[in-house]
């Protein structure tokens, strides 16, 4: 079964990505609300068809930690990717609430990300390549799922030419080599560590405004010891989990099999049902609503990016 644009009713815009907008859509034949991501590419029909073919494997693979794929199509040189609608959006929008999540919530988020990454590696034989809070989505049921993973080789190649942005989740070995050959599972583990740090503390650990240049910022990532999770709010297990992920030596970083049984994950495993993930998402969404004006101002010029 193939989805096409004629079957979709456009609703509101959900966000702007690097390559196009993400829109909420209603799929009329199935009455399912979906999120449709537009990816603008300058490619010929052959390459676009190849991308759709490569995305097809997603129809056969399902995980509670991966955003469901419904189908994709292209119009002119845009690929439209239809996926499960996550009504709370990405984690980056939720974590400024209370300056980051409490320890039990972080443990469940880390568990979900590790489970998702492990699924991608074991079932689809792929590495994510872009683990960061914008690519971790939440819904009001309190579920946490990964999106935007590198499933299509052709799509990865086509997107590779673009810049890296001012918040880098790239592992030191990737910055140093500045090519994708250095990419391995361990690089995703680094990005997981940076993401946990950001989700736990409420802020990205190498903020651009602290450095004179992107070079200085990347230099800090490669050479400086990364900060810990705040000691006043996180126990030794959480702090160790992040430190393990953020080892400069890629080979020293733990595997997913090791991370999934790390004391920080096990600490909350048996009482997972009692952790109020839905309540936390609800609180964060209400906070967002109440601060919508300030957040809007910050985004439109108040940020001081110096650009």
Which of 130, 188, 270, 273 is the catalytic position?
Answer: 130
Q: Return the number of the residue (22 or 221) whose C-beta is nearest ligand ADP.
A: 22
What are the distances in angstroms from CA 117 to CA 101, 261, 274, 292? 21, 15, 24, 32
Q: Return the number of the residue (86 or 281) whose C-beta is nearest ligand ADP.
A: 86
Tallying the residues shown for the chain, one arrives at: 307
**Considering the complex, what minimum distance in angstroms separates the CB of residue 258 from ligand ADP?**
28
**Considering the complex, what minimum distance in angstroms separates the CB of residue 64 from ligand ADP?**
15
Q: What burial letters (b/e) apply to 145-163, b meaning 16+ CB within 10 Å? A: bbbbbbbbebbbebbeeee
End-to-end CA distance of the chain: 45
Calculate the CA 55 to chain-centre distance.
18
Closest CA to 5 of 65, 87, 80: 80
**Considering the complex, what minimum distance in angstroms separates the CB of residue 85 from ligand ADP?**
5
Closest CA to 95 of 212, 196, 202: 202
Q: Return the number of the residue (89 or 150) whose C-beta is nearest ligand ADP.
A: 89
What are the distances in angstroms from CA 100 to CA 40, 92, 112, 234, 259? 33, 10, 17, 11, 21
Whether 37 has a binding-site annotation, put simply, is: yes
Q: Return the number of the residue (19 or 211) whose C-beta is nearest ligand ADP.
A: 19
**Considering the complex, what minimum distance in angstroms separates the CB of residue 80 from ligand ADP?**
12
- Applying CB under 6 A, which residues contact ligand ADP? 14-15, 17-18, 22, 35, 37, 67, 83-86, 89-90, 93, 134-135, 137, 147-148
Closest CA to 106 of 227, 244, 239, 283: 239
Q: Is 293 a catalytic residue?
A: no
H-only helix segments in 41-139: 45-55, 103-124
Which residue sits closest to ligand ADP, CB atoms considered?
17
Residue set of the binding site for ATP: 37
Instruction: Please state the residue numbers annotated as binding site.
Output: 37
Active site residues: 130
């Amino acid at each position: 079964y193939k989805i096409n644009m004629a079957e979709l009713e456009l609703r509101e815009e959900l966000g702007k990505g690097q390559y196009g907008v993400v829109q909420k859509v209603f799929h009329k034949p199935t009455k399912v609300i979906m999120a449709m991501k537009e990816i603008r590419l300058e490619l010929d029909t052959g390459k676009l068809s190849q991308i759709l073919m490569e995305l097809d494997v997603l129809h056969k693979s399902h995980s509670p930690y991966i955003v469901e794929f419904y189908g994709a199509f292209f119009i002119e040189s845009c690929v439209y990717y239809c996926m499960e609608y996550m009504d709370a959006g990405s984690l980056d929008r939720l974590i400024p609430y209370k300056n980051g999540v409490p320890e039990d919530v972080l443990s469940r988020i880390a568990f979900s990300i590790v489970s998702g990454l492990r699924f991608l590696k074991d079932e689809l034989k792929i590495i994510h390549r872009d683990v960061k809070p914008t690519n971790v989505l939440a819904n009001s049921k309190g579920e946490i799922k990964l999106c935007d993973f590198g499933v299509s080789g052709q799509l990865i190649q086509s997107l590779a030419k673009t810049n890296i942005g001012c918040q880098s989740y790239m592992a030191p070995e990737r910055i140093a080599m500045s090519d994708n050959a250095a990419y391995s599972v361990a690089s995703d583990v680094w990005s997981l560590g940076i993401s946990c740090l950001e989700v736990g503390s409420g802020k990205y650990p190498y903020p651009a405004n602290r450095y004179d240049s992107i070079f200085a910022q990347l230099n800090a990532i490669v050479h400086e010891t990364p900060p810990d999770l705040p000691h006043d709010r996180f126990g030794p297990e959480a702090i160790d989990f992040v430190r393990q992920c953020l080892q400069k030596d890629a080979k020293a970083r733990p595997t997913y099999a090791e991370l999934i049984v790390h004391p920080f994950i096990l600490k909350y495993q048996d009482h997972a049902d009692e952790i109020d993930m839905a309540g936390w998402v609800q609180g964060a969404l209400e906070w967002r609503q109440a601060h919508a004006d300030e957040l809007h101002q910050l985004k439109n010029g108040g940020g001081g990016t110096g650009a």
